[in-house]
Amino acid sequence: MLYSRWKAFTKGFSYLRHTPEECRLKGQSFRSYRPVYLFCRFQHTTTQSLSKEPSTFPSNVLVETRTEIAKKLHELSGIDKHFIYESIDRPNKLDSGDLLLPVPRLKYKCNSYKELAKQWAAGLSQLPCCEKVVASGPFIQFFLNHLLLTTSSIPCILQQSDNYGRSDLLLGKRTLIEYSSPNIAKPFHAGHLRSTIIGGFLSNLHETLGSDVIRMNYLGDWGRQFGILAVGFEMFGDETKLEQDPIYHLFDVYVRINKEMLKEENSTLPSNSIKSKVRTYFKNMEEGDPSALQLWKRLRDLSIQKYAETYSKLNIKFDSYSGESSVPPDTVRQVLQRLGEKGLTYKDNGATAVDLSVYSKNLGQVIIQKSDDTSLYVTRDIGAAVSRYEKYHFDKMIYVISSQQDLYMSQLFKILELLGYEWAKDLAHVNFGMVKGMSTRKGNVVFLDTIINEATNRMLQVLQGNPQKCKQVSDPYDTAQKIAISAIMIQDMQSKRVNNYDFKWDRMLSFEGDTGPYLEYTHSRLYSIGEKCSDITMKDCKTADFTLLTEPLAINLVRLLVQYPDVLLKSLTTMEPSTVVSYLFRVAHQVSSCYNVLWVAGQEPRVAAARLALYCSAKQVLKNGMRLIGLTPVNRM
C-alpha cells in the first residue's frame, strides 16, 4: 500500500519519516512535514481496511484520499461509504482542487446544500492527506498536500513506467467490441474511419483496465450488395487491377455497375437484366452454390489483406475478421423459428416482420425475411449476436456504429430481448456523429489511404523545411506518417464522439493549438530534455529528493500527472476518447509552461535530478495516454 511505498520512496531523505521528537533532536523542522507524517501514520494503521474499499486501481494518492474521505464522511453523515466514494469526482480545473464532492449528489436531506457543505468541510478539514478542504457553494474541494503528491507520485510513475494507469478493474471479464466494419463492395469512408478510431481506443482502454478483449471487424461481405459487386465484376473486372489494389478496383466496379443499373431502373426486369442477375446470384450464394462462393471468397480475402495493411498504419488490430457471411444459416433459421414460436412475427406482402411499436412507438415494424425467403441485414445481425455469445460467452458486447443507426440498434437489442436472451442487457451501442467536409484535392471520393498519404506528404514538407532537424530523424517519411496519423486521429477524437465535426486540413496539421502534431512535439521535446541530461540516470531520478520541487508550476504538473488513472476510469464510464485527449492537452500545456522556469541543465545536481524526474514522469504519462488512444509517440521531429 501507499505507506510501504512511501517508506521506500523517502529512503534518500529519511527525516520525512521521523517523529516530532526525532526531528527536534536532529535540529530539523517538523512543522512543514507534519501533514505528511500524520498521513503516513494514518495509512499505516488503516492498510487492512483500505483493501476493502470499492476500487481495484493500483493504490495511489487519489484512491487513498477518496477512501479516507468516504470513511470520515460516513462517520459524520451515516451515508454508505461506497456511495460517497463513487460520488467523489475529479475537477476540470486545478483551481477547484484535486478532488471534488458535489454534495447534492449524496441526496442527503437538508435545508441547504451550501450550509451542509460548510458543515461537512469543517468536519473533513483534519484529514492528514489534505492541505485544505474548502466549501464552495454546494461543493467541497479537496486540495492534497503538495509534499505528499511529489514524493509519492513521481516515483510511482517512474517505477510503473508503461504500466502506469493499468489496473485489474475488469479482470476476469470478457468484452467483445465490434468496430470499423467496412463493406467490401463500397469504399472505406469517413464513417468507417470514425468507427475504427473509436473502437481501437475502447479496445485499448478495456484491455488496459484488465478485460479480456475480443476485437472484431464485422465486414459487410454478404447480401444484395455483394450480388451487385459479383455481377459487376463479371462485366467490368480486371484481374491485374484487382491484384494491384482490390479496394480501389472493386469500388470502381461497384460505381460502374450501379450506373448501368440506373439505366434499367424503369425496366420490367426481364430475366437477363442486371437486377435479375443480382437477385439470382445472391440467392445462389445463400443456397451454397460453389462457383458463386468461390468468387465471393476471393474478393473477400483480397480485401481483408488490403484492409490489414491500412489498419496497421493506425495501430489497429483485430482478433477476428468476421462478417455477415460468418453467421451460420442454421442459426438464422432457428432465430426465425423462435420468433414465430413466441408469436412475434406476422406476414406483410409475403415478407416476415416483427411489430415493435407495441413496445415503443419509435421502434416501428422490422422486416426480418424477404418474400423470396432470403435473409436481411437485421436477421443476420440477430444470428451473429447469438453465435458470438455461444462462442465467446462475453460479459459485454459493444457495437461502435454511427448515430445514424440509433433506431436500428434499438430495434436489434429489443428483438434479442424479446427472444429471451438474458445477455441482451449486456449489449451496448457506442454511437458517433458525422464528418463534414472530408475531401481531397482530387475530388470527393475519400479512401483512408488517400487521406493518410496526403497528410503524410504535407507533414514531410514541414519536416524538410528545417534541414538541420530533419537530419536528426532516421526515417523522415516514417516520422511524417506517424505525425500525420496523429493529426487525423486527434481531430476525430478531440470533441465528444456524438458531435459532427468539420474536417479541416490546415487546422489538423498545425503544430499550434490542440492538435496531434502539438502532442507529438511535446513528447519529442521531453525526450530531448532527457537526452541532453544523459549524465543523470533513471536510478538518480527515482531516488531524487522531490522535496526540492516547490515551484507552483512543478506542483501543478504533478497534480495533473496523478490524475491519469482517474481519467481512464472516467473514460470507461463515458466511452469518450475526448476525455483522455483533453487530459493529454492539459498535461502538454502545463509542460510547456514549465520549460522556461524549471531548467535542468546547469542546475545543482540534486535539483537537476528532481526536475528531470518530473519531466520523465510527464513524458511517461503522455506516452501511455497517446498509445492508449492509438498514436505512436515520436522521439525526434
Let me know if 186 is a catalytic residue. yes
Between CA 101 and CA 67 the distance in angstroms is 13
Task: Classify residue 501 as exposed, middle or buried by CB count within 10 Å of its CB (0-12, 13-18, 19+).
Answer: buried
Q: Which of 18, 118, 189, 429 is catalytic?
A: 189
- At 316, give phi and psi (nearest 5°): -105, 135
- Which residues fall within 8 angstroms of residue 496, CB to CB, at 6 or more apart? 576, 578
Integer CA distances (angstroms), 338 to 10, 268, 314, 331, 471, in order: 66, 37, 41, 10, 67
Place of cell 479496394: 247
Mark whether 173 is an active-site residue: no
**Residue 451 CA neighbour count, 13 Å, CB half:** 27
Collect contacts of 599-604 with beta carbons under 8 A, ≥24 apart. 600/529, 600/532, 600/533, 600/536, 601/532, 601/533
Rounded Cα distance, 614 and 157, in Å: 10
Which of 186, 241, 469, 570 is catalytic? The answer is 186
In the annotation, is 259 catalytic?
Answer: no
Helix axes 377-392, 406-418, angle to 10 degrees: 60
Q: Compute the distance between CA of residue 29 and CA of residue 37 in angstroms, rounded to an integer.
A: 12
Backbone angles phi, psi at 202, to 5 degrees: -65, -35
Strand partners, 89: 100
Strand ranges for 370-440 from DSSP E: 396-400, 427-430, 435-436
Return d(Cα 522, Cα 615) in angstroms, integer: 11
Task: Kindly name the residue from 192, 206, 542, 623 that is annotated as catalytic.
Answer: 192
Cα of 290 vs its chain's centroid, Å: 42
- Nearest CA to 15 out of 1, 4, 29 is that of 29
Q: Which of 486, 487, 498, 492 is nearest to 574 (CA)?
A: 498
Per-residue three-class SS string for 295-337: HHHHHHHHHHHHHHHHHHHCCCCCCEEEEHHHCCHHHHHHHHH
What angle, 0 to 180 degrees and rounded to 10, lies between the N-to-C axes of helices 61-77 and 34-50? 80
- The residue length of the chain stands at 637
Show the cell assigned to 288: 451454397
- Bridge partners of 139, per DSSP, are 102, 136
Active-site residues, by number, are 186, 189, 192
